[in-house]
Amino acid sequence: MLITGGSRGIGAATAVLAAKAGYAVAINYRDNAQAAAETANAVEAAGGEAWCVQADVANESDIMAMFAALDARFGRLDVLVNNAGVVDKKARVQDMTAERLTRMFTVNTISTFLCCREAVKRMSTELGKNGGSIINVSSAAARLGSANQYVDYAASKGAMDVLTIGLAQEVAAAGIRVNAVRPGLIDTEIHASGGLPNRVNDLAATVPMGRGGSATEVAEVILWLASDQASYTTMSFIDVSGGR
Half-sphere CA count of 189, side-chain side, radius 13 A:
11
Per residue in 20-63, pLDDT (tens digit) is 999 999 999 999 999 999 999 999 999 999 999 999 999 999 99
The pLDDT confidence band at residue 230, using thresholds 50, 70 and 90, is very high
CB environment 159-193: b (16+ within 10 A), e (fewer) = bbbebbeebbeebeeeebbbbbbbbbbbbbebbee
- What average pLDDT does this structure show over 79-105? 97
Contacts of residue 235, Cβ cutoff 8 Å, sequence gap at least 6:
164, 165, 168, 169, 172, 178, 179
What's the confidence (pLDDT) of residue 205?
87
What's the confidence (pLDDT) of residue 198?
74
CA dihedral 84, 89, 91, 94 (to 10 degrees): -70
Residues spanned by the domain of 144: 2-240
Helix (H/G/I), strand (E/B), else coil: 1: coil
pTM (predicted TM-score): 0.95
CA dihedral 121, 124, 126, 128 (to 10 degrees): 80
Integer Cα distance of 16 and 212 in angstroms: 21
CATH number at residue 88: 3.40.50.720
Q: Is 29 a catalytic residue?
A: no
- Contact between 213 and 191 (Cβ < 8 Å): no
How many structural domains comprise the chain?
A: 1
Integer Cα distance of 155 and 119 in angstroms: 24
Burial class (CB in 10 A: 0-12, 13-18, 19+), 55: buried
What's the confidence (pLDDT) of residue 140?
97
What's the confidence (pLDDT) of residue 199?
73
The pLDDT confidence band at residue 190, using thresholds 50, 70 and 90, is low
Q: How far, in Å, are 20, 54, 144, 174, 187 from residue 29 at the CA level?
A: 21, 5, 28, 29, 20
Pick the catalytic residue: 23, 29, 153, 232?
153
What's the confidence (pLDDT) of residue 196?
61
- Contact between 7 and 213 (Cβ < 8 Å): no
Per residue in 67-91, pLDDT (tens digit) is 999 999 999 999 999 999 999 999 9
What's the confidence (pLDDT) of residue 120?
98
Integer Cα distance of 5 and 38 in angstroms: 14
